[in-house]
Chains A and B, each alone.
Chain A
Amino acid sequence: MMNIPLSITTTIHDWLFSIMPEGAATITEWVLIAVAYLALFAVAGLYLVLLERKVAAWFQFRLGPNRVGPWGIFQTIADALKLVSKEIYSNQKVDKFLFNLAPYFVIVASLMAMAVFPFSKQFQGFDINIGVFFLFAVSSIGVIGLLVGGWASNNKYSLIGAMRSGLQTISYELSVGLSILTMVLLTGTLQLSEIIEVQRTGGWLIFQGHIPAVIAFMIFMIAGTAETNRAPFDLVEAESELGAGFHTEYSGMQFAYFFLAEFINMFIIASIAVVLFFGGWLSPFGITEGITWFPEVLWFVIKVFMIILLMMWFRWTFPRLRVDQLLTLEWKYLLPINMVNLVLMAVIIWLNFTL
């Protein structure tokens, strides 16, 4: 079941099964994997916040955080410690149960999506044959957390933010789905590890599929940015209109969960893009193909950070869309283009024009 025979993980796996009965060893492995993913979640979230602040500063001729530790590398850890120490406060009129439940929806959805990514050949939590479908399904659960949180807050700004988030996700889920479908047409499989195997022989999918793949990538990046509720699609928490949107009433660690989940969602969208378009953990031109000790996860991380940088570049360049512009972009432009693109991809595969 656990498909993680990285040489380290194999060693741990064998060692655990040698010192304890099978059932206990399996449960211990589960706990270890959960801890590993939670640690990844926390570290990636915190350092993406720092990266965001640094990149934002550089786009605006500033230096960004540089006081806590060298180049400010401990800034977000200090922020997290502050948030942990704060009181979790809610006003009297909130729906207590839903209010406290909402952050966990968001967090759990992000964590479940993380589980299926092939970080390298050996490091993948859960390799199912409907990986892409699973990712797509799970990443939409997060929006329920936003809707529930906005509703339970009993605050008009939160409610408007939550409703906008629902509207946005329903619209843009279509574009994400269709652009992913375009690529699935090319790979012929939904299993993420096999999608990468397809790219090992034929080159990265964005080169294999050339024109329709590039169009699909552009649409995926636009719709993915909208999915993560980031600027220029941050109507959900538009500071100038809605206070802080759906998380106006949240404080302390509950707020931090929403905040971290936003950055993890960005990581997830970037990871999907890397797996579907840029060959996952495969090295460019196979330059580290023969080197057995080379950690392939490094290529994965480098590519993911490139995509994340692109999304931050969008955020700090483009102004926020109005609600009607948001819907016009989706229903009048992205969706028709996407459908034509899907047919184009099918024709190209049918006529064997793939590179």
Chain B
Amino acid sequence: MSYFSDIYNGIKTLLTGMRVTGGHFVRIRSENITQLYPDNRDTLQMFERFRGEVVMPHDENNEHRCTGCQSCEIACPNGSIEIIWDRQVDPATGKKKKMIDKHIYHLSMCTMCGLCISACPTDAIVWAQNYENAVYDRSALTKVLNQPGSKLKAGIEE
């Protein structure tokens, strides 16, 4: 008798499969996942966890959160990050203190592993969601992350 139950089960499971795909077929307008990319460039939002490039967010007073601890530079496996720093007098306290001059990021070498971001103790660098990173000249891929004239936000180092 398993002969007939095999036939019954076979037909039943095949119809179940066809119901699933048929459902997708008739609901294509709402379920479609294709992005018509160059056409929807203005409205296309990348998802939050997308790793576009490393950026350093600055607030409205042109202040960042990077203390120049170099954790990211040490964590980077292929030397994509270089930090140029020196000791300057902190105008608030009058003491000499380590400050970043340039936080240099080589996008051309970066493998998007994210070790720098997880190593950063002050969350100074984050992932950006931009995806159009092609340029005509290689030198344009070497980026200075801290904006000119920016300074460390107060209260980060405590």
C-alpha spacing A63/B34, complex, angstroms? 6
A165–B33 Cα gap in the complex (Å)?
A: 36
From A61, A66, A313, residue with most partner B Cβ within 10 Å: A61
Known: A61-B31, A61-B33, A62-B32. A55 touches B17 (CB 8 A): no
Find the A residue at minimum CB distance from B17.
A317
Give the B interface residue count (CB, 8 A).
15
Q: Does B24 contact A (CB under 8 A)?
A: yes
Q: Which of B7, B22, B31, B34 has the most CB of A within 10 A?
A: B34
A58 adjacent to B7 (CB under 8 Å): no
Interchain CB contact under 8 A, A313 and B7: no
Chain B nearest CB, measured from A235 CB (Å): 18
By a CB distance below 8 angstroms, the chain B residues around A317 are 14, 17-18, 20-21
Given A61-B33, A63-B34, are A318 and B17 neighbors across the interface (CB < 8 Å)?
Answer: yes
- Chain B positions 12-57 with a Cβ under 8 Å from a chain A Cβ: 14, 17-18, 20-22, 24-25, 28, 31-34, 36
Inter-subunit contact A62/B34 (CB<8 Å) = yes
Cα A55 to Cα B36 with chains together (Å)? 18
Known contacts A61-B32, A62-B33, A63-B32: A333-B7 contact under CB 8 Å: yes
A316 sits at the interface (CB 8 A): yes
Expressed in whole angstroms, the Cα–Cα distance for A313 and B20 within the complex equals 11
Contact partners of B34 in chain A: CB under 8 A: 57, 61-63
Q: Which of A60-112 contact B (CB under 8 A)?
A: 60-63, 66
Choose from A61, A66, A313, A333 the contact partner of B28 (Cβ within 8 Å). A61
| Least CB separation from B30: chain A residue | A61
B31's closest neighbor in chain A, by CB?
A61
**Which of chain A's residues 24-77 have a Cβ closer than 8 Å to chain B?**
55, 57-63, 66
Inter-chain contacts of A62 with B (CB < 8 A): 32-34
Instruction: Give 27 pairs: A residue, B residue, CB < 8 Å, sorted on A.
Output: A55-B25, A58-B25, A60-B24, A61-B24, A61-B28, A61-B31, A61-B32, A61-B33, A62-B32, A62-B33, A62-B34, A63-B28, A63-B32, A63-B34, A63-B36, A66-B36, A313-B18, A313-B21, A313-B22, A316-B21, A317-B17, A317-B18, A317-B20, A317-B21, A318-B14, A318-B17, A333-B7
